A and B are shown apart, each in its own frame.
Chain A
């Protein structure tokens, strides 16, 4: 869904590197001699942030996990996931959550192999979103102070 990426470098820089950042990001980097066909040495990333469970306290949410296709099958994805798990452990987080598209079988299998449970299947949780006009309409109806 590349046409849905509306963010700019400037926003990422502002939102991720301020005093209370909105996200954290881990990068996978290879040596210069192993760079990609287009000359990139940063070949994978994991973007995550802290959330809060009213049942168990602080948790980590893995928003994005990606490894460039030519660098897959080398354990980079597993390493990135383990590093995020380590962060969760260090910050005494009760769990790590993420969402995966139902047709993305390789990713679903990848997470299941690490012990992840599909809570949409097992407990019936659905993701709901308010955005654009619906969000504006609701906001406009809020009582004025």
Chain B
């Protein structure tokens, strides 16, 4: 099985996108943290000012998954900004269903994303990976990626809603 297409996600794909988001979150052992709904994804991705862009991989009906799905992989990205070098492409989520791995789908998605980055004059493509996800880290390093946390010492910080609200009421 190596027959698949990559295409831009459409509004009709939101339920598949949410399904894949939850599968990836489950793989990261954080499934209960997904509070987004199909409605949010629709408004946020297919309205006047989309917050994200999405690519999906689809297989023909005869190769559908055991539960009957033909959309079997996705990549969600958006554009960010580095004041030193300008526009960047940030890859937020990237996932291929387990039964469809090893066929080059992930590689192909990454190549298309890189092409998008270059075409839109982005200097770089960034993303985060959990350090225990050795498989993914090796996948990216084989293709020339640099681990900036390791090489330059960058750490990711987050301030959640509760603490944000505290700052605004002072």
Q: Which residues of A contact B (CB under 8 A)?
A: 1, 4-7, 11-12, 15-16, 20, 22-23, 47, 49-58, 61, 63-64, 81-82, 85-86, 88-89, 93-103, 108, 111, 114-121, 123-131, 133-139, 141-143
Q: Which residues of A contact B165 (CB under 8 A)?
A: 85, 89
Classify chain B's interface size. 35 or more
Q: Which residues of B contact A82 (CB under 8 A)?
A: 167-168, 170
Within 8 Å of chain A (Cβ to Cβ): is B57? no
Q: Is B143 a contact of A97 with CB atoms below 8 Å?
A: no
Q: Is B144 a contact of A138 with CB atoms below 8 Å?
A: yes
Could you tell me which residues of chain B, from 121 to 170, have a CB within 8 Å of some CB in chain A?
123-132, 137, 140, 143-150, 152-168, 170
Within 8 Å of chain A (Cβ to Cβ): is B103? no
Taking a contact as CB atoms closer than 8 A, the residue among B49, B145, B170 that contacts A130 in the complex is B145
Q: Is B114 a contact of A139 with CB atoms below 8 Å?
A: yes
**Contact status of A128 and B36, CB under 8 A, knowing A7-B84, A95-B158:** no
Q: Which residues of B contact A5 (CB under 8 A)?
A: 83-85
CB distance from A7 to the nearest CB of B (A): 5
A sample of 16 inter-chain contacts (CB < 8 A) reads A15-B86, A22-B80, A54-B76, A97-B157, A115-B159, A115-B166, A117-B157, A119-B157, A123-B130, A125-B129, A126-B129, A129-B125, A129-B145, A129-B148, A139-B111, A142-B108
Q: Is A128 a contact of B148 with CB atoms below 8 Å?
A: yes
In angstroms, Cα B78 to Cα A48, docked, is 14
In angstroms, Cα B25 to Cα A23, docked, is 28
Q: Is A56 a contact of B36 with CB atoms below 8 Å?
A: yes
CB distance from A32 to the nearest CB of B (A): 26
Taking a contact as CB atoms closer than 8 A, the residue among B143, B155, B163, B170 that contacts A138 in the complex is B143
Q: Is B164 a contact of A101 with CB atoms below 8 Å?
A: no
**Contact status of A89 and B168, CB under 8 A, knowing A117-B158, A134-B143:** yes
CB distance from A91 to the nearest CB of B (A): 10
Q: Which residues of B contact A11 (CB under 8 A)?
A: 86
CB distance from B169 to the nearest CB of A (A): 9
In this complex, which of B126, B127, B129, B154 has the most chain A Cβ atoms within 10 angstroms of its Cβ? B154
In this complex, which of A22, A94, A117, A127 has the most chain B Cβ atoms within 10 angstroms of its Cβ? A127
Q: Which residues of A contact B36 (CB under 8 A)?
A: 53-57
Q: Is B83 a contact of A86 with CB atoms below 8 Å?
A: no
Taking a contact as CB atoms closer than 8 A, the residue among B52, B123, B127, B161 that contacts A131 in the complex is B123
In angstroms, Cα B33 to Cα A131, docked, is 31
